[in-house]
Amino acid sequence: MKKIIVISDIHSNYAAFESAFNTIKEIHPDGIIFLGDYVTDFPYPQRTMEILRKCKSAYKCWFIRGNREDYLLQHRKNPNDGWVYSSSVGSFLYTYENLTDDDLDFFTDLPIYSEIDIEGVPLICACHGSPKSTTENILLNSSAQLKYAKRIKGNILLCGHSHHRNTVKIKDKKIVFCPSLGLPQDGEKYGHSWITLLTSSDNNWKPEFIDIKFDADTLIEDYRKSDLTEYAPIFSECIMKSLQVHGDIAYQCVVLAWEKAKKDNFKGGKILPEKYWIQAAKELKII
């Protein structure tokens, strides 16, 4: 029997990651699979990278690249892409400026899809969004689920990106949607999130979602002391609010902000003026 931990969508939530690391030590797994989106959204990404290094030193690890890493690497190639202090892209800029070249090199070498072959147990197929894209969300797309279930070589596909936990069975195969450790969205209690445990049994893998408790109050205190609140003012409020209600508050806010901008005939590009973020945040009672 083998035990494999799966961690997805940390989003720089070092408090939840550190707590998960302590839980993992009690489980004694045979390895850890990471499904991408390691950084952005929370402050001090270097703390997350340090815990990643601790994991690499203590366990066999497999790493997948997420869409957040793609954004950072695209900025590295094109630093004149317009990233500025703003709720639209300020979190990305802050994260980029707090990472090292070694960190970015690490992300560059990661695949978006991997077939993980561990001796004596079934093949594990792993991706962030889908085997073809870091941004594709197949959680609610049954046709895409069927398509990828047919294509994978193994009988299990691990997906992150959706931030929700679920298992979909398609004939003799299953797709496991692994929840976000950093920004959970399944109605968990305040200060709780999840990792996934895979246990091999009878030529199959059994998924189990493990509750992780972390100090959300201290995390928010650290957030308010950080420069990230200056880089992305309203976006930061959205992320902190998400910890309390376990919903995608930033998405709700940006959608409403764009609606207001369009009514105002805004034609200034992809970066919204902060005033629209503020209007949306007030209407949603975020601020």
In tens digits, the chain (287 residues) has pLDDT values of: 999 999 999 999 999 999 999 999 999 999 999 999 999 999 999 999 999 999 999 999 999 999 999 999 999 999 999 999 999 999 999 999 999 999 999 999 999 999 999 999 999 999 999 999 999 999 999 999 999 999 999 999 999 999 999 999 999 999 999 999 999 998 778 999 999 999 998 889 999 999 999 999 999 999 999 999 999 999 999 999 999 988 899 999 999 999 999 999 998 888 999 999 999 999 999 99
pLDDT of residue 203: 86
Domains located in the chain, CATH noted: 3-213 (3.60.21.10)
pLDDT of residue 192: 96
pTM above 0.95, yes or no: yes
Kindly report the number of other CB atoms within 10 A of residue 167's CB atom. 14
